[in-house]
Chain A
Amino acid sequence: MGSITLANVTKSFGAVNVIPPLNLEINEGEFVVFVGPSGCGKSTLLRLIAGLEDVTSGTISIDGADATAVPPAKRGLAMVFQSYALYPHMSVRKNISFPLKMAGLDQAEIDKKVNGAAEVLNLSDYIDRRPGQLSGGQRQRVAIGRAIVREPEAFLFDEPLSNLDAALRVNMRLEITELHQNLKTTMIYVTHDQVEAMTMADKIVVLRAGFIEQVGSPLELYRSPANLFVAGFIGSPKMNFLTGAAAAKYDATTIGIRPEHVSLSDKEGDWKGVVGVAEHLGSDTFLYVKLEDGTQFTVRAEGEVSFEHGDTVYASAASADRIYRFDDKDIAL
């Protein structure tokens, strides 16, 4: 239960081709994150799976059965929207019970399930309030509650945390991850935030302009990005890229090195530069170095580092195997 297969799926809006032929296999119980910059088609892809948009061609199967022409109400999927999309005229209880009422369950069973969900999500105290009287985090919980009560084949999340403040976002991230561990239901989660992708996913699907750039576990993508785009997108701060002579030395068009894999010295090293900004976070220090050729280079050093604005520094790779090499087509070598 809960496996989803996309075969040669395409989507066009008029003459604009948003999703080129795309194939993807989502296994039962997996937490899959679609990540990519805005406009990459990740939300469209989710809406195609939900059935809220019709595919232009190709097939979508849920649990092996062709669901391409099945309306969203009959696909057995639950969705949590970015705007929460709660029913403003209904209390929390009515919001959560709505899908059960639509499924035609009897009142006793509805009450049991709604009370259970409210307890799990800490909503019992607010059960008779309307969405307008709740905070952002509480609304998000109601939206999740509405999704879990019907025990769907899979959950679809469309950037559910982007309207929350930073602290709450971290909390909700943990709650959703825990929810997945408890329910073991397939989850598909769309975000533009690579930190969310890295922390939550079993499998990340990196999208750009509708194309899948790479599919893999968070660490696979981190360790062996398939191309320059994935290398730059996964990891925070972003990977540094060098071209020209520095890259030619490694027999590549472009080389990349992550900020956390750089060692700094004030005497010698491969790349000379001047410290622009030094951010001292206590646990780490981020240094933004301007290299001699003008390239911006980010260094993440552990703990306290004494370099300050204006210091001349030499950066090198911590070890040679930490250098990523890319050819003239931006493909990893």
Chain B
Amino acid sequence: MTNNNPNYNKLIVTLFAWAIGLLIFFPILWTILTSFKTEAEAIASPPLFLGFNWTLENYLEVHERSNYFLHFWNSVVISVGSTLLGLLIAIPAAWAMAFVPAKQTKNVLMWMLSTKMLPPVGVLIPIYLLFRDFGLLDTRVGLVIVLTLINLPIIVWMLYTYFKEIPGEILEAARMDGATLWSEVIYVLTPMAVPGIASTLLLNIILAWNEAFWTLNLTAAKAAPLTAFIASYSSPEGLFYAKLSAASTMAIAPILIMGWFSQKQLVRGLTFGAVK
């Protein structure tokens, strides 16, 4: 055996990569498979991999029992709304930090990130009370606001690293060309940062789509997104693995499809700051 054979090494690396890939993908695959089983088959021991009676019964029942499209629409409004609102606030903030840094800019960035280190449950009661007093409980507006605030530090950080890559001279050129601050941001900075802004947008839509703590705690029915829809099938009175799996599959399908079509942008987003 020659370990130095490049083809042999390549084979090992490829097998290893596939093994890790499948390991990560397995829970999703298992969820999708389970969604097509009967409840009895879902808890069978030993577990059934492919040899079971494929059925769409769970999907029909889930569809009958809950209003999927209402939850889907809530998820879309909340994730897209909070991401767009976040970008609107973060673009000027990141511009200021990247191009007119002050002495404390680095510290402000760290402070913003530090808010992500606090367990959300620590501020649940004050936020719940505020929401109650302002009538925001179980409203989409309320969730858009809270998810914007939750993800804002990440949006600002990502945009900051992208903006840092844009040569300051180009913005200075715009200033010399008579551009006002707003024209500079709208006509020069934003178009140049489109790849970075797109990555940030996609990643934050996914984060907001999957956010389960606030969406579960601050909604009941009207504004409940898909996370709450899944949770409604893991009820304490009985375990319905197959129906739970069907609900989960329906909830992750849209974001999975979106993620698949925007892989390139996402990879850039996930490795942000890694390459200068």
Contact = CB atoms under 8 A, between A and B. Distances in A.
Interface of A: 50-52, 71-74, 77-79, 81-83, 85-89, 98-99, 102-103, 146, 150, 156
Given A88-B192, A89-B191, A89-B192, A103 B170 contact: no
B176 interface: yes
Interface in B191-227: 191-192, 194
B169 interface: yes
Contacts of A103: 178
A81 B188 CA distance: 16
A98 B169 contact: no
Interface string B118-141: 000000000000000000000000
B192 A79 contact: no
Q: Considering residues A52, A78, A146, which has the most beta carbons from chain B within 10 angstroms of its beta carbon?
A: A52
B173 interface: yes
Given A89-B194, A99-B177, 6 more contacts: A73-B176, A79-B176, A86-B173, A88-B170, A98-B174, A146-B177
Interface stretch (B40-48, B69-77, B179-187, B265-273): B179-187
Given A52-B175, A87-B188, A98-B187, A73 B180 contact: yes
Contacts, number: 62
Chain B at the A interface: mostly helix, strand, loop or mixed? helix
Most B-side CB within 10 Å, residue of A77, A85, A146, A150: A85
Nearest to A102: B178
B172 interface: yes
A323 to B, nearest CB: 45
Contacts of B183: 102
Contacts of A83: 167, 169
A88 B189 CA distance: 11
A173 B262 CA distance: 47
A98 B184 CA distance: 11
B188 A150 contact: no
B181 to A, nearest CB: 9
Nearest to B166: A88
Given A81-B169, A83-B167, A102 B179 contact: yes
A78 B192 contact: no
Contacts of B178: 73-74, 99, 102-103, 150
Nearest to B190: A89
18 contacts: A52-B175, A73-B179, A73-B180, A78-B176, A78-B177, A81-B172, A81-B173, A82-B169, A85-B167, A86-B170, A87-B173, A87-B174, A88-B192, A98-B174, A98-B187, A102-B177, A102-B183, A146-B177
A87 B175 contact: no
Contacts of A72: 172, 175-176
